[in-house]
Amino acid sequence: MITITRLPEPSKLTEKKDKWLAAYLKKKGEVPKHRPPSGQYAHKEIRDILERMSNNKCFYCECKLGEDSEMKSEVDHYIEVAEQPKLAFDWNNLYLSCYDCNRKKLSNATMPVSNCLNPCDTAENPADHLTFKHEYIRPRANSSKGCKTIKKYKLDRSELNYSRLKWVQRFEHFLRKLRERQLDNEGRKLTLREREAVNSFKEPHHAFSLMFRVYLSEEDL
């Protein structure tokens, strides 16, 4: 998880949200389990802006989403509509998630979002609360928010560990090749292009960028 700056509300949402909400609440009054139509809150314009905000990554686990990934994106309600129906079309309540983070997360009633890190809260840095040991996510300095965030979104689930491990292995292979070149050239320093390539792993567009920030700080790179 990294900090995400929320972009302005999509025009489609501004134009339609009151109408959509009124229709949804009316139907919900008749059928209590009724959900808002995903074709509305996950409209292409809304999804596109959420994807731009997160560089096509899940807001929670940072896995890559979309056509270049096996993981598909879902528009998630940060606080579930079952608990807060009036937030069904609230721009600040719409997040981008992978299938697993959306479907497997603990409900707000079970684990309130107020007890966890909010990637859209620019006043708080997830790096102050989360760290990694190899591919395994850990709370930094026993941070309560870090612990609860990991638990709420199940950020330590086995399939995420495996995905992160594959990226760690790619990165280690990349570093090994760089160091071999250094040795072949009498231990020369990394070129600007090589250093930029190393640092690209920790840039916001990269999968699991927080993990690589931790990794690179430990490697002194």
Which single residue is written with the structure tokens 């950020």?
Answer: 155
Note whether residue 205 is domain-resident. Answer: yes
Look up residue 125 and give its two tokens.
Answer: 């840095």
Query: Is the pLDDT higher at 197 or at 210?
Result: 210
pLDDT for 217 equals 84
- Domain of 180 in residue numbering reads as 158-219
pLDDT tens string 3-33: 999 999 999 999 999 999 999 999 999 999 9
The verdict on residue 166 lying in a domain is yes
- DSSP strand pairing (94-98 vs 130-133): unpaired
Lowest mean pLDDT among 50-54, 127-131, 184-188: 184-188
Q: Is 82's pLDDT higher than 70?
A: yes
Residue 132 lies in a domain: no
What DSSP letter does each residue of 115-172 carry, written as one string?
GS--TT-TTS-GGGTEEEETTEEEEGGG-HHHHHHHHHHTTT-HHHHHHHHHHHHHHH
Residue 195: band (very low, low, confident or very high) from pLDDT cuts 50, 70, 90: confident
Highest-confidence range of 66-75, 102-111, 189-198, by mean pLDDT?
102-111
The pLDDT assigned to 221 comes to 58
Is it the case that residue 47 has pLDDT exceeding 60? yes
- pLDDT tens digit string along 110-166? 999 999 999 999 999 999 999 999 899 999 999 999 999 999 999 999 999 999 999
Residue pointed to by tokens 């919900």? 28
Domain-located, residue 191: yes
By three-state DSSP, how is residue 95 classified? strand
The answer to whether position 81 is within a domain reads: no
Q: For residue 71, which amino acid is it?
A: M
| Mean per-residue pLDDT, 196-206 | 90
Question: Could you tell me which residues come within 8 angstroms of residue 175 by beta carbon, excluding any fewer than 6 positions away?
Answer: 198, 219, 221
pLDDT band at 219 (very low <50, low <70, confident <90, very high): low
Rounded to 10°, the helix 44-54/11-30 angle is: 120
Pinpoint the alpha helices (H) of the chain. Answer: 11-30, 38-41, 44-54, 99-104, 144-153, 158-184, 192-199, 209-219
Whether 8 is in a domain gets the answer: no
Least confident of 4-8, 32-36, 67-71: 67-71
Task: Name 142's Cβ contacts closer than 8 Å, sequence gap at least 6.
Answer: none
Residue 176 lies in a domain: yes
Q: CA-CA distance, 213 to 211, in Å (whole number)?
A: 5
This prediction's pTM: 0.88
Q: Is residue 82 part of a domain?
A: no
Its sign, for the CA torsion 147, 7, 101, 211, is negative
pLDDT value, residue 211: 95
Count of structural domains within the chain: 1
pLDDT band at 181 (very low <50, low <70, confident <90, very high): confident
Distances (CA, A) of 164 to 7, 57, 121, 171: 28, 14, 24, 11
Mean per-residue pLDDT over the chain, rounded: 91
State the pLDDT confidence band at 180, using cuts at 50, 70 and 90: confident
Q: Residue 155 corresponds to which amino acid?
A: L
